[in-house]
Amino acid sequence: MKAHLSRRYLFSASHRLHNDAMSAEENRATYGKCNNPHGHGHNYVLEVTVSGPVDERTGMVCNLVDLDQFVEREVLERFDHQNLNTLPGFAGTVPTTENLCEQIYDILQRGFGYAHLEKVRLEETLMNSFEYAGGVELRK
């Protein structure tokens, strides 16, 4: 039997949406108030969905302790209370939530081997969320 497990995590980070290849006017027109030179922050809600067969012995797709520890160590410690613009992963990349979602997916895909990673969903505000499933971005 295959099942899906989704787990939610919270972290806060700031960013400024700005592309150095664009003029100041283009940046303002493209990113609006999110181009504020001082940046702004979000309380993100990260949802990680994994799938796999249900282990007959444990009755689980994966051990939540293992998933929680991995996400804490590899994702939350990296991004929580950080200015995304200053992180090496965003050198030359605009730190949009779409790009952050893709980075988190790639981190999880490379390192968490206990279950199949289906997707990550990142809620930026009550009105904006983004999903990434490895090459297919679904905007909501």
What is the C-alpha separation between 44 and 112, in angstroms, rounded?
21
Kindly state the percentage of the chain with pLDDT values over 90: 91
Distance of CA 53 to the CA centre of its chain: 25
Count structural domains, the chain: 1
Q: What is the pLDDT of residue 113?
A: 79
Residue with the bigger pLDDT between 76 and 2: it is: 76
Residues involved in catalysis: 34, 81, 124
Helix (H, G, I), strand (E, B) or coil at 120: strand
pTM of the full predicted structure? 0.91
Q: What is the pLDDT of residue 136?
A: 53
Q: Are 94 and 26 in contact (CB under 8 A)?
A: no
Neighbours of 87 (CB within 10 A): 17
Q: What is the pLDDT of residue 139?
A: 52
Q: What is the CATH number of the domain that holds 121?
A: 3.30.479.10
**pLDDT digit string (tens) for 92-129?**
999 999 999 999 999 999 988 789 999 999 999 999 99
First to last CA, the chain: 30
Kind plus residue range of the DSSP H or E element containing 11: strand 2-15
Range of the structural domain that residue 106 is part of: 2-139
Q: In the predicted model, what is the mean pLDDT of residues 55-75?
A: 95
Q: In what order do the strands lie in the sheet with 137-139?
A: 82-83, 2-15, 40-53, 116-123, 129-132, 137-139
Q: What is the pLDDT of residue 135?
A: 77
**Opening angle at CA 137, ends 98 and 10, nearest 5:** 50
What are the beta bridge partners of residue 42?
A: 13
Q: Which two tokens stand for residue 39?
A: 């940046």
